[in-house]
Amino acid sequence: PPELEQTLTLLSSHRSVLGYMLLSRGYPVSIIRHSGVVFEGEQGRKYAQAIGRIVESVQTGLVEVSADPKDADDVRFMRIRTKRHEIMISPDERYLLAVLHDPST
């Protein structure tokens, strides 16, 4: 959709964004589209698998702490800060959008 294209272009143009990945939400997680050298080749596949596991783990935890598993909360947005980077993940029913950002810039 044009809105997605516009959003991805806007993300890519921001100077602190190192790259983004649009991933399938199935198993195994696969890269639909990416931008940035950090997400190319084997490194990109490693990031994709890690992001898939992170989202799945958090969602499983939300189900476990819910009083009624049928009424468990859903992950809408995640922000993970490490020493060097920040990973922002926006999941929906079919896709995961992950953005790698350098918070020092």
Provide the number of structural domains found in the chain.
1
pLDDT tens readout for residues 50-101 = 999 999 999 999 888 888 877 778 889 999 999 999 999 999 888 999 999 9
pTM comes to 0.86
Residue 73: predicted pLDDT:
84
What is the CATH number for 94?
3.30.450.30
Give the Cα separation of 23 and 50 in Å (integer).
11
Task: List the structure tokens of 90.
Answer: 């926006």
pLDDT tens readout for residues 3-51 = 888 888 888 888 899 999 999 988 889 999 999 889 999 999 999 999 9
Q: What is the residue range of 47's domain?
A: 2-101
